[in-house]
Amino acid sequence: MSSDSVILLDTVNFAAEKHRNQRRKDAEQTPYITHPIGVARILSHEGGITDIEVLQAALLHDTVEDTDTSIGELQAVFGQTVARLVQEVTDDKALSKEETKRQQVEYAPHASHQAKLVKLADKLYNLRDINRCTPTGWTAGRVQEYFVWSAQVVRGLRGTNPALEGHLEELFKQRGVEL
């Protein structure tokens, strides 16, 4: 049986290979893998999370949405729990962008505790990233809309991790958005 650190290295390597050609939408075109790694780090270092399956799901959370990875592949390589967690935080590609956003708000309160943790850290990373550098082509209005919609999702994730929720609440407050 592998140790947790060996499992995490295998997982981050899988995610890095899957996201290898993808870049963030910032001006520097940062390699995309910085995002899943950062989400996992938020969970461990700020959320106090040591649950290996949650940390693995964080590293893999955008592989199905944004690369050729399937849930079946994740299940075969990393097992049922990790695959199910990634499934829970993956948007349905068949839906329109508006419908996808509505679905995230609707599903948030029904997600498992572990999936809620990943979603909280994902939102916290992305909101901090917007504050650091506005994504290419985003107007101030789109940024504000993203904060307002994110607050609607985070509302359904509350009662999961006080540290992460506290950081999120502060970011919303800075934008005049009520949680």
Ligand X SMILES: Nc1nc2c(ncn2[C@@H]2O[C@H](COP(=O)(O)OP(=O)(O)O)[C@@H](OP(=O)(O)OP(=O)(O)O)[C@H]2O)c(=O)[nH]1
Q: Does 129 bind Mn ion (CB under 5 A)?
A: no
Cα-flanking dihedrals φ and ψ of residue 177, to 5°? Answer: -105, 125
Which residue(s) pair with 31 in the sheet? 23
Q: Which of residues 83-122 bind Mn ion (CB under 5 A)?
A: 122
Task: Judge whether 51 counts as a catalytic residue.
Answer: no
* Residue 31, helix vs strand vs coil: strand
129 binds, among ligand X, Mn ion, none (CB under 5 to 8 A by kind): ligand X
Could you tell me the smallest distance in angstroms from the CB atom of residue 33 to ligand X? Answer: 12
Nearer to ligand X, 6 or 158 (CB): 158
Q: Which residue's beta carbon is nearest to the bound ligand X?
A: 25
Could you tell me the smallest distance in angstroms from the CB atom of residue 90 to ligand X? Answer: 9
Helical segments of the chain, H only: 4-18, 34-41, 52-60, 63-66, 71-78, 80-88, 97-107, 113-132, 140-155, 162-174
- Would you state the structure tokens that stand for residue 160, as one six-digit string? 């999961």
Q: Which of 53, 65, 73, 169 is catalytic?
A: 65
Nearer to ligand X, 62 or 165 (CB): 62
Nearer to Mn ion, 6 or 95 (CB): 95
155 binds, among ligand X, Mn ion, none (CB under 5 to 8 A by kind): none
Give the C-alpha distances (Å, rounded to integers) separating 2 from 6, 8, 17, 73, 152.
6, 10, 21, 20, 39
Task: Judge whether 10 counts as a catalytic residue.
Answer: no
- Total residues at the site for Mn ion (CB under 5 A)? 2
134 binds, among ligand X, Mn ion, none (CB under 5 to 8 A by kind): none
Nearer to ligand X, 4 or 142 (CB): 142
CA angle 142, 128, 60 (to 5 degrees): 100
- Give the integer Cα–Cα distance in Å for 167 and 55: 19
- Give the integer Cα–Cα distance in Å for 133 and 137: 11
Residues that bind ligand X (CB under 6 A): 24-26, 35, 62, 65, 97, 122-123, 126, 129-130, 135
Q: Which residues are the active-site residues?
A: 65-66
